[in-house]
């Protein structure tokens, strides 16, 4: 008997028991649905992460920190490890947490590392408040260095070409600020206006002895002077308003100032404290054509933790992989359950059709042919279930994608991406699973004694 004929007959046999076929394949469909979604989520997340990294990080960049825990290496995942750290003069405060910081020597080491073109430490510039020309209220925000390695889009004004810094008296403001500063205003309204930052130098709290000494020498007046902090106003002209982007972190929050200005202000703020010229991290630009990995390896061997853009990508992909694995695990469980469903259904089918099997054998169908017939029926169940599950997942994905994108504010990115060859492979896998499940019932059918099967009494 030809394979095609057996397949056709298998298909017809299933059609004759539509309800049972559909119910059995639904079990597989649930597995297929979950697996298809997990594949789509994985693909979408990977592409999104890729897009995210591409628009935020120059591949020639190496991130350097002193504290291993900041990059998730060595001391385990951040947040899980103990937050209690030994205090030392080389630690720095950032966001309430204490980290080991890079010092001037470290920066020098980095500058001398192979392939390094430039080093930009992350300057911490904390303004007490800021004021925008034409707006009465005072605001606070983050202030960071303008990243010249990534080209951002401007909503108004113009941004310098890739690799070019903004001038020292210029500032770039994110589009998100416009609504807050002046509801109803346009981005272009702010270009050319000035922003004034109020900077207050960090001083250590005077000790009780110092306060007493001051009081003794100059009374109330002297004590007040002791607490008075040195302050400074810095005025910038708004060069551009950066456009909101779903993939670019840098464009969405905080003001941008030039590297030189950032260094100057940071040094002003930390002068005479133990945080002077201490940095949480540094961004190293590696020369074009040089392998950032080499630079990173060099620095890793010198009591620093360096990560290339690729390492960060790997870190994100690992997380995506784990999430995907969890979803896929549920799919696999559903599949295992469906295997027993298929075995059961096919056993019943064999029992129901003993006379049919007996007849086929009497007509000269060999054992192998009978076994094939039942295996192909199982394969059909696998294919039907797979198609139902994958199609449902696909349609659901198409319907949900705009909603997810809107809710998570992903812009042009979709989080569920269906790749046809992945689904095709999944279907093949499901057919294989179904055939394996149909093996025992098929064997039972093949072994059936035709004389017994055809007995009418």
Partner 1 sequence: MIEIRNVTKTYGKKKNTFTALDDISIEIPDGASVAIVGKSGSGKSTLMHVMSGLDRPETGEVVVDGENILALKAKQVDAFRSEKMSFIFQSFFVQGNESCYNNVSLPLEIAGVPLKNRRKKIERALADVELGEKIKSRAKDLSGGQKQRLAIARAIVTNPKILFADEPTGNLDSVTGDAIEKLLFDYNRKQKTTLIIVTHDIDIAKKCDMVIHIKDGKVASVTGDKR
Should residue 450 be labelled a site residue for partner 1 when binding is judged by CB under 8 A?
yes
114 or 366: CB nearest partner 1? 366
Interface region with partner 1, contact rule CB under 8 A, candidates 116-124, 125-133, 172-180, 353-361:
353-361
Q: How far is the CB of 25 from partner 1 (least distance, A)?
A: 19
Q: How far is the CB of 51 from partner 1 (least distance, A)?
A: 52
Binding mask 305-344 for partner 1 (x = CB under 8 A): ----------------------------------------
83 or 355: CB nearest partner 1? 355
Contacting partner 1 within 6-25 (CB under 8 A): 6, 9, 12, 16
DSSP 241: E
Should residue 183 be labelled a site residue for partner 1 when binding is judged by CB under 8 A?
no
Of 26, 167, 391, 454, which lies in the binding site for partner 1, with binding defined by CB under 8 A?
454
14 or 410: CB nearest partner 1? 14
| Cα 415 from Cα 43, distance rounded (Å) | 8
Binding mask 136-175 for partner 1 (x = CB under 8 A): ----------------------------------------
- Choose among 232, 257, 292, 70: nearest CA to 170: 257
127, β-bridge pairs: 199
Please check whether residue 239 is in contact with residue 188, taking contact to mean a CB–CB distance below 8 angstroms. no
Angle of helix 18-56 relative to helix 3-16, nearest 10 degrees, comes to 110
| Cα 81 from Cα 70, distance rounded (Å) | 11
Residue 413 CB neighbour total at 10 angstroms:
19
Should residue 424 be labelled a site residue for partner 1 when binding is judged by CB under 8 A?
no
- Choose among 92, 177, 93, 68: nearest CA to 131: 177
23 or 362: CB nearest partner 1? 362
Q: How far is the CB of 360 from partner 1 (least distance, A)?
A: 7
Q: How far is the CB of 352 from partner 1 (least distance, A)?
A: 12
Contacting partner 1 within 355-384 (CB under 8 A): 355-356, 358-367, 369
3-state secondary structure of 316: helix
Q: How far is the CB of 364 from partner 1 (least distance, A)?
A: 3
Angle of helix 367-408 relative to helix 3-16, nearest 10 degrees, comes to 70
Terminal Cα-to-Cα distance of the chain (whole angstroms): 30
216 or 363: CB nearest partner 1? 363
- Choose among 427, 442, 353: nearest CA to 25: 427
| Cα 63 from Cα 79, distance rounded (Å) | 20
Q: How far is the CB of 365 from partner 1 (least distance, A)?
A: 5
186 or 368: CB nearest partner 1? 368
Residues in CB range of 215: below 8 A, 6 or more apart: 222, 223
Tokens matching residue 419: 């790749």
Q: How far is the CB of 22 from partner 1 (least distance, A)?
A: 16
Binding mask 91-110 for partner 1 (x = CB under 8 A): --------------------
Contacting partner 1 within 263-292 (CB under 8 A): none
The structure tokens 């690992």 sit at: 318
| Cα 407 from Cα 121, distance rounded (Å) | 35
Please check whether residue 281 is in contact with residue 99, taking contact to mean a CB–CB distance below 8 angstroms. no
Interface residues toward partner 1, by CB under 8 A:
1-2, 5-6, 9, 12, 16, 355-356, 358-367, 369, 450-451, 454, 456-457
């Amino acid at each position: 008997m030809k394979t095609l004929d057996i397949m056709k007959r298998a298909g017809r046999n299933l059609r004759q028991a539509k309800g049972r076929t559909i119910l059995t394949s639904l079990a597989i469909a649930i597995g297929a649905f979950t697996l298809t979604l997990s594949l789509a989520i994985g693909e979408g997340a990977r592409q999104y992460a890729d897009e995210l990294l591409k628009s935020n990080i120059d591949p020639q960049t190496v991130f350097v920190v002193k504290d291993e825990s900041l990059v998730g290496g060595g001391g385990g995942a951040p947040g899980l490890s103990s937050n209690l750290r030994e205090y030392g003069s080389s630690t720095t405060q950032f966001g309430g947490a204490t980290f080991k910081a890079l010092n001037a020597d470290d920066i020098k080491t980095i500058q001398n590392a192979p392939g390094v073109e430039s080093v930009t430490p992350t300057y911490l510039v904390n303004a007490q408040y800021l004021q925008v020309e034409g707006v009465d209220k005072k605001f606070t925000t983050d202030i960071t260095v303008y990243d010249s390695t990534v080209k951002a889009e401007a909503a108004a004004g113009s941004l310098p070409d890739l690799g070019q810094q903004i001038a020292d008296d210029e500032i770039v403001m994110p589009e998100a600020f416009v609504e807050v500063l002046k509801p109803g205003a346009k981005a272009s309204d702010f270009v050319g206006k000035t922003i004034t930052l109020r900077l207050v130098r960090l001083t250590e709290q005077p000790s009780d002895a110092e306060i007493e000494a001051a009081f003794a020498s100059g009374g109330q007046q002297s004590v007040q002077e002791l607490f008075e902090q040195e302050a400074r106003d810095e005025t910038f002209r708004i060069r551009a308003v950066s456009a909101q982007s779903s993939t670019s972190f840098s464009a969405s929050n905080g003001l941008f100032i030039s590297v030189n200005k950032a260094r100057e202000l940071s040094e002003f703020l930390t002068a005479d404290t133990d945080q002077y010229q201490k940095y949480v991290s540094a961004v190293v630009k590696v020369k074009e054509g040089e392998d950032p990995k080499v630079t990173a390896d060099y620095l890793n061997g010198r009591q620093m933790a360096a990560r290339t853009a690729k390492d960060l990508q790997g870190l994100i992909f690992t997380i995506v992989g784990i999430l995907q694995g969890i979803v896929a695990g549920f799919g696999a469980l559903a599949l295992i359950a469906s295997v027993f469903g298929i075995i059961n259904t096919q056993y019943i089918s064999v029992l129901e059709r003993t006379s049919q099997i007996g007849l086929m054998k009497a007509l000269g169908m060999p054992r192998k042919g009978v076994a094939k017939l039942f295996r192909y029926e199982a394969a059909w169940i696998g294919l039907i279930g797979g198609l139902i599950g994958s199609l449902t997942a696909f349609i659901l994905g198409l319907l949900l994608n705009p909603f997810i994108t809107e809710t998570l504010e992903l812009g042009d990115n979709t989080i569920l991406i269906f790749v046809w060859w992945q689904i095709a492979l999944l279907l093949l896998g499901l057919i294989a699973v179904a055939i394996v499940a149909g093996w025992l019932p098929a064997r039972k059918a093949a072994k059936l004694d035709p004389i017994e099967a055809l007995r009418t009494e």
